[in-house]
Structure 1
Amino acid sequence: MTQSSKNKGSQFSKNNPWIELIQTIVTAAVLSLGIRTFIAEARYIPSSSMRPTLEVNDRLIIEKLSYLFREPIRGDVIVFNPTESLKAENFKDAFIKRIIGLPGEIVEVKTGKVYVNGKKISEEYIFEAPDYNYGPSRIPEDEYLVLGDNRNNSYDSHYWGFVPKKKIIGKAFVRFWPFDRLGSLYKQPAYLK
């Protein structure tokens, strides 16, 4: 092959708009898939279980990096894949709830309050006080107790158990829709009183 025929082949691929379009689309798809898989992804809220913090049809960004560098903490709003007990009930979609109990802690719900290791926690973010009793129950290592902020209308850990760390997809980071509620979801964690 002569030098001029090599140049024509490479010049053809450089100047062909179809080849450039395909290269651009493939590059964008690979970057998008990589970002969604390893860094962040968008999610929407399908139920009222997290009211008032999250409303039906809110759109969120879930970030996936922070738990590579630190453990989840009380107060984090997390998205997680169904646990084994939820899979047994044919749940396939991810859940979103707030972490209330950490590995090794004893959690109890009574008289409309949540207690961790016998101490009441502060919860300014809930819709209303829980009208049920739960526990006391010790959380296994590498697992978390999660509850919805709409305590009396949330299918959460007080029904089906704990969330293993390996099931956590990521932490709810920011709401981007609707625009009038745009902003960070970070709230001071519910520290023990």
Structure 2
Amino acid sequence: MGQYWQKSTALCVVLSLAIARPGWSDSPPVPAPIYSEAFCLKIFEGVAEQARLSTWKISDRDRHILTQCQNKFPPTANSKIPLPTAAECVYVVKTLVQEGLDKVKEIELPATQVRSIERCDEVIKYYPLPADNMLPTLKPNEKIVVDKVVYQTQLPQRGDIVVFNPPSLPESQNIQEPLTQRVIGLPNEKVKIKKGIVYINGELYPEDYITQSANWYESVIVPANSYFVLDDNRNNSATDRRMWNIIPRESIGGKVIWQFGSK
């Protein structure tokens, strides 16, 4: 099975994406039934074909089988192999989704990079986007790919679309999945929204990614080690998240680096 993983790096990436549920924590492992290597290989290839067709509709039963197969036949772990970059992982996923598994098999990669890409599940995370709070930039039911490690080496930047766990507030008790919003204000900055226009430290902040201005007023000083975030769909009444505009850096789980639709 290890040789197969090296020949088809896409399946490792696809498997981790396919079994991912909407949510930030991975499900705990469960005891694995007896599956053969040939059976698991067939399941893996079926998942890759679904990914190529952008269907990504996997039943709970199939997800359970995939998890067991991954646990039973994991790629060889080697801590000496460096983590891949998120860009390398997304390149494989893009090729798979847009051009198919056959095209991925044609990609010529050095053996060390192939082994590195097998660690993509440590670098990127995938989940569906259920809400419309980021329209028109991100559409509901699109899939987003999140770089989980980018903020280990750099700070969030203004304009980044980030995912974060909601603060522990009564209003967030029913929120199961991480939220997705855009970074507007940086630590210690003054952010004001007046007549729909955003001002940062008294200067107008132009935004060409929104279709309607906010119809509410706000003025805050962003605390140290925190960020002021907003939806792109500012007047979205269905998911009013203004109580979560200020988030601490430690609650940010990553940066959205790619999104793709489903057919």
Aligned counterpart, 1:42: 126
| Offset from partner CA, 1:95-115 (integer Å, 9 cap, x none) | 000000111101110011011
Identity between Structure 1 and Structure 2 (%):
31
TM-score, structure 1 length as denominator? 0.72
The within-5 A match list for 1:46-85 is 46-85=130-169
Amino acid at match of 1:26: F
Among 127, 144, 150, the residue aligned to 2:233: 150
Amino acid at match of 2:235: N
Aligned counterpart, 1:27: 74
8 Å CA contact retained: 1:81, 1:168 = yes
Provide the C-alpha distance between the structure 2 equivalents of 1:42 and 1:114, rounded to a whole number of angstroms: 31
Report whether the alignment pairs 1:111 with 2:189.
Answer: no
Which protein shows a greater Rg? 1
How many residue pairs get aligned? The number is 160
TM-score, structure 2 length as denominator? 0.54
Report whether the alignment pairs 1:99 with 2:183.
Answer: yes
8 Å CA contact retained: 1:148, 1:155 = no
SS at match of 1:152: coil
Q: By how many angstroms is 1:35 displaced?
A: 3.9
Q: By how many angstroms is 1:19 displaced?
A: 7.5
8 Å CA contact retained: 2:148, 2:253 = yes
RCO (CA 8 Å, sep 6+): is it higher in 1 or 2? 1
Structure 1: state its 5+ residue gaps: 1-16, 180-193
The structure-2 alpha-carbon separation of the partners of 1:152 and 1:33, relative to structure 1 and needing over 3 Å to count, comes to farther
Higher strand fraction (1 or 2): 1
8 Å CA contact retained: 2:166, 2:244 = no
Query: CA-atom RMSD, angstroms?
Result: 3.0
Amino acid at match of 2:225: D
Structure 2: state its 5+ residue gaps: 1-34, 41-68, 78-114
